Amino acid sequence: MSQENPLLADWTGPFGAPPLDAIRPEHFPPAFAQALVEHRAEIAAVASDTGEPTFGNTVAALERAGRLLTKVSSVFYVLAGAHTSEAIQAIERDMAPTLARHWNEIHLNEALFARLDALNLRRDSLGLTPEQARVLERYHALFRRAGAGLDAAAKERLKAIGDRLASLGTPFGQNVLADEQSYVLPLGEDDLAGLPDFSRAASRGAAEERGLSGQYAVTLSRSSVEPFLQFSARRDLREKVFRAWTARGDNGGNTDNGAIITELTALRDEKARLLGYPSFAHYKLDDTMAKTPAAVTGLLDAVWAPARRRVAGERDALQDTVTAEGGNFRLAPWDWRYYAEKLRKARFDLDESEIKPYLPLERIIEAAFYVANRLFGLTFTERPGVPVYHSDVRVWEVSGPGGRHVGVFFGDYFARPSKRSGAWMTGLREQDKLDGEVRPLVLNVMNFNKGAGGEPTLLSFDDARTLFHEFGHGLHGLLSDVTYPMISGTGVLQDFVELPSQLYEHWLDRPELLERFARHYQTGELMPHALMDRLIASRTFNQGFLTAEYLGSTYVDLDFHLGGAKDARAVEQQTRARMQMPDEVVLRHRPPHFQHIFSGDHYAAGYYSYLWSEVLDADAFDAFEEAGDVFDPAVAKRLRDNIYAAGGARDPAEAYRAFRGRMPSVEPLLRKRGFTGEDA
């Protein structure tokens, strides 16, 4: 079987990367089947060990178990997100409950938990290294929070809930993707009014991607929709596209997610109560830096108070712009980006079409690599011979000081129908040193519109920021330097995971970087200093809107998980009313397509973590500014050692204090968003 199935064979190609070009959907079912059999046998051997529990025969043994399953799963979920198909989706629907059941059985295994519990009770006398102590602590918490200490009836119910939750999360995401794939709005020449050349080129590329050669089109990819809403002078088409975009998963029929949300929230609440928590939010937050819903709400309220004043002022200014142009209509959600672009040009003599020619994708990739080199001594060398799953994917070998191999970085930058929307970092292999040095294979996935006709892909400043954000996650994986897989790379508490990514964004709009990399894609000339100054001066423009749409989704997330089954539309309406959210602002993620919290539970009751981490990242970047050099070597070394390389080896608060010398306050965040002064 291994000779015929590349998933079961040894990967002997470059860097031990999987032969992605040879893997087919039909390879996955037998590979999963064999991997599950092997993992069950490995777990049974650990649980039935008659010797006294030790770190080696229990915790380290658990870390070594399931390697084939990890290998197969990593490849499968990369394809399920970035290059899916009907066959992959069918396997995903079948495997979701199977894998959930498999992990539930492990985490509810009485004999296994008894060994972990015995170790945990005498952890101070085991002579463990700090990293080993942390891994034991995380394993014990994982099993305890899964219900390992409950009675038999509660365990059986938890297993059933876990199976059903897995069966609900997969179709939720597939429904959203189906709505995205099924929508395309062809555009004629008369429909292109207001669109700058780069947006027209992107629309032509989107049409070609959908088989409409020689035409123009808008799809429901965020990178297609947002520029159209920003520039199109056709208000009727803006409304049409906006309504389709915000209605993903909310259209009735087979792809409607309303019933899934109601059942899913009820099951999560029941799970939390079985585990002794008053709600799923209390359960989820108990294992974070925040600890309680009250702590999260306190942060959200502190930011929403000035943001609400700011967004109301922004709305009024946009309405004045409408009126000044002779419009006799009230500003609507599909108008916001269009008139914000007009107002930004008026206030700062700045528009997106003036900026994008200086932000070609290739230069922004180089800029991200440059910052990594200045901060951490990393070098990126493109390696075209590494197998990939799509011709768009590029591969770089990452080397450290002295040429030491650090890992491999995969970049998948362009939107296509086979890819879910959004941007994310994932991995084909994580770093560990348990049985020798294993270096990571890290992947960044984006959804930029490819330049049509061989033209370079030009990014908006927000697109460039997204690239830097995900590359920050990528560095968290690449720089990981721990022994145990459990705490490798991004294996940290939920509300700490966004710190490395959001912190990395700060370097993008620094003059030191723009003066080197913001070059016109045709002439190679640097962005004029006057334009650069205006761009930097405008960075807090429209922050009320951006904060409002994000916080709306964050409050909604908490409200869904504070007890009981929930109706999606009712929660959204009630939350908006309590916030006094302006009608002109729609949530960044409306519940029917809020994949962060409903396609799985990783961000459920945890979407706040972006803001929580922003408190940290705003304060963390101050450390470089206080040093007088945004590439200060001493600060960069502390950052690498305590944040990027440390994985989950330490408690996040302890790790942050080791870097910064203290915990942060919310003031740098408010300053970064422009909510100080009259809005304080």
**Radius of gyration of the CA atoms of the chain, in A:** 25
For position 372, what pLDDT does the model report? Answer: 98
Q: Which amino acid is at 356?
A: K
How many CB atoms are closer than 10 A to CB 214?
A: 7
What confidence score (pLDDT) does residue 369 get?
98
Query: Per the residue annotation, which of 430, 470, 498, 505 is the catalytic one?
Result: 470
Residue 399, helix vs strand vs coil: strand
- All structural domains of the chain with their residue ranges: 14-107+109-146, 183-247, 261-350+539-605, 357-486
| 254-277 burial code (b ≥16 CB/10 A, e <16) | ebbbeebbbebbebbbbbbebbeb
Write the burial class of residue 355 (CB in 10 Å: 0-12 exposed, 13-18 middle, 19+ buried): buried
Enter the tokens of residue 528.
């004029």
Give the number of residues written for the chain. 680
The values of phi and psi at residue 395, to 5°, are -135, 135
Superfamily of domain 357-486: Collagenase (Catalytic Domain) (3.40.390.10)
> Model pTM?
0.93
d(CA 614, CA 534): 24
Coil, strand, or helix at residue 186?
Answer: strand
Q: CB 343: neighbour CB atoms within 10 A?
A: 17
DSSP states of 423-472:
-EEEEEE--B-BTB-B--EEEEEEEEPPPGGGPPPBPPHHHHHHHHHHHH
User: pLDDT tens digits for 20-43?
Assistant: 999 999 999 999 999 999 999 999
Euclidean distance between CA atoms 680 and 434, whole angstroms? 50
Q: Which residues of the chain have pLDDT under 50?
A: 1, 678-680
| pLDDT tens, position by position, 530-544 | 999 999 999 999 999
Determine the Cα–Cα distance for residues 216 and 186; give it in Å rounded to an integer: 6
The three-point CA angle 597-171-79 to 5° equals 85
- Separation of alpha carbons 245 and 132, rounded Å: 47
Is the CATH code 1.10.1370.10 the one for domain 261-350+539-605? yes
Examine the residue annotation and report whether 366 is marked as an active-site residue of this protein. no
Beta bridge partners of 444: 411, 425
Check if the beta carbon of residue 93 is closer than 8 Å to that of residue 170. Answer: yes
Q: Which residue type is seen at 548?
A: A
Q: Which of 296, 607, 647 is nearest to 476 (CA)?
A: 647
Contact 192, 207 (CB under 8 A): no
- Of the candidates 62, 68, 49, which has an alpha carbon nearest to the alpha carbon of residue 140? 62
CB-based burial, 425-464: b 16+ in 10 Å, e otherwise = bbbbbbbbeeeeebbbbbbbbbbbbbbbeebbbbbbbebb
Contacts 24+ apart (CB under 8 A), 665-671: 665/615, 665/619, 666/299, 666/302, 666/303, 666/615, 668/615, 668/618, 668/619, 668/621, 668/622, 669/303, 669/611, 669/614, 669/615, 669/618, 669/619, 670/303, 670/306, 671/618
CATH of span 14-107+109-146? 1.20.1050.40
- The 3-state DSSP class for residue 126 equals coil
Helix (H) / strand (E) element for 348: namely helix 336-348
Per-residue confidence (pLDDT) for residue 70, from 0 to 100: 98
Q: Check if the beta carbon of residue 458 is closer than 8 Å to that of residue 507.
A: no
Runs of H (alpha helix) within 67-126: 67-82, 86-107, 110-121
Residue 677's pLDDT is 60
Q: How many CB atoms lie within 10 A of CB 603?
A: 20
For the segment 578-599, what is each residue's pLDDT rounded down to a tens digit? 999 999 999 999 999 999 999 9
Six-digit token string for 543: 């922050």
Handedness of CA 285, 290, 292, 294 (dihedral sign): negative
Tokens encoding 423: 């941007």
Query: Which run of H or of E encompasses 217?
Result: strand 216-218
